[in-house]
Amino acid sequence: MGGQALSQALRQCCAALAERAGLSVVCRVDDGVDHLSPALAEVVWAVAQEMLANVERHAKARHVTLECLAQPDGLCLRVSDDGVGCDPQVLERPGHYGMRGMRERVTGVGGALRVQAAPGAGMTVEATFPLVHAGAAATSPGP
């Protein structure tokens, strides 16, 4: 991210994709995402880059939407496109290293990755991340 806030880095990444690939890109990023731990922000950034790279490489899309939304219990990162889509079962087969890498990064921090796709109907990839609150340890019962 180069020392930038996550929200700014995501917006710049979307703008670069639009310019480079000629896509219509909508980027919705809550400013609240800038309060994540550096480690979680780095995971979110890496997953977002891979999601957008997959759209550019494979989707043949015209429109892409990236949303990174801070919620009371976690964070939702979602990329949707209007491209060619695919059978989601195909993504589980060996050889889909980008999808496997995203899943490993997301689950490595306790999150979940979901894919909604169908041939000819675009694709949505959504990663949800739990947020650990600093006060959580203080509320644990003592010995």
pLDDT digits (tens, 9 = 90+) for 61-84: 999 999 999 988 899 999 999 999
Q: Give 80-100 pLDDT, tens digit per residue.
A: 999 999 877 766 666 667 788
- Predicted TM-score (pTM) of the model is 0.87
What stretch of H or E contains 29?
A: strand 24-29
Which DSSP string corresponds to 55-112? IIIII--SEEEEEEEEETTEEEEEEEE-S----GGGGGSTT-HHHHHHHHHHHHTT-E
Q: What is the per-residue pLDDT for 137?
A: 35
Q: Which domains does the chain have, with CATH numbers?
A: 6-131 (3.30.565.10)
Q: Give 9-57 pLDDT, tens digit per residue.
A: 999 999 999 999 999 999 999 988 999 999 999 999 999 999 999 999 9
